[in-house]
């Protein structure tokens, strides 16, 4: 799991403590990784308008703070492919501007991509499933780990 937070700071700490290298080593061995919010940004191969550190594991381009500032945070119902409806909590959230290669869209909000997976190894959500009562997305990730 790569949590939400401030992606620039998390990336700097990953570099400083060489955690990024360890994550990339484990990813190459097949370890599943799920990034939420800032974690989505760090998993992306491309970040619109930014050269910040990223792991570059997913075939996606993300836009940071795409829904606005902290005061623009919101909750909404989402329809996730294969899971049905769940609640999404968006806090200064990014979104996916583009995906290619192995990345596959699992959920959109108003035609904006907010959840993707790649190769049943990587999962990225722009929202925070951990802040809701539902554990459906968590179970989905655990199922990915079993395959």
Q: Which of these, 135, 138, 50, 140, lies nearest to 94 by C-alpha position?
A: 50
Is the dihedral angle over the CA atoms 2, 62, 11, 118 positive or is it negative? positive
Predicted pLDDT of residue 145? 81
pLDDT at 135: 94
Using the structure block, give the residue that is written with the tokens 């919010």. Answer: 37
By C-alpha distance, which of 78, 96, 98 is closest to 87? 78
Q: What beta strand segments (E) does the chain contain?
A: 33-36, 44-47, 58-63, 74-80, 84-90, 95-99, 103-109, 112-118, 122-125
Which pLDDT score, from 0 to 100, does residue 147 have?
59
User: What is the pLDDT, as a whole number, of residue 50?
Assistant: 95
Total-model pTM: 0.95
Give the integer Cα–Cα distance in Å for 119 and 10: 25
Considering the segment(s) 7-146 as one domain, its CATH architecture is 3-Layer(aba) Sandwich (3.40)
Q: Average pLDDT per run of 10 along the chain, which is 147 residues long?
A: 95 96 97 97 97 97 91 94 94 96 97 96 97 94 84
Task: Report, as residue numbers or ranges, the catalytic residues.
Answer: 37, 128, 130
User: Per residue in 33-58, pLDDT tens?
Assistant: 999 999 999 999 999 999 999 999 99
Return the closest-CA partner of residue 37 out of 104, 100, 115: 115
pLDDT for residue 88: 96
């Amino acid at each position: 799991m790569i949590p939400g937070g401030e992606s620039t700071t998390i990336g700097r700490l990953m570099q400083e403590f060489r955690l990024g290298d360890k994550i990339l080593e484990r990813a190459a061995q097949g370890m599943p990784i799920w990034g939420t919010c800032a974690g989505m940004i760090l998993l992306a191969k491309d970040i619109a308008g930014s050269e910040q550190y990223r792991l570059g594991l997913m075939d996606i381009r993300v836009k940071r703070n795409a829904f606005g500032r902290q005061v623009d945070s919101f909750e909404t119902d989402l329809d996730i492919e294969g899971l049905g409806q769940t609640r999404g909590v968006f806090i200064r959230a990014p979104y996916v501007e583009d995906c290619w290669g192995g990345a596959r869209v699992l959920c959109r909000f108003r035609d904006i991509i907010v959840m993707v997976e790649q190769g049943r190894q990587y999962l990225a959500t722009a929202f925070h499933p951990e802040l809701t009562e539902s554990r459906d997305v968590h179970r989905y990730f655990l199922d990915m780990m079993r395959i």
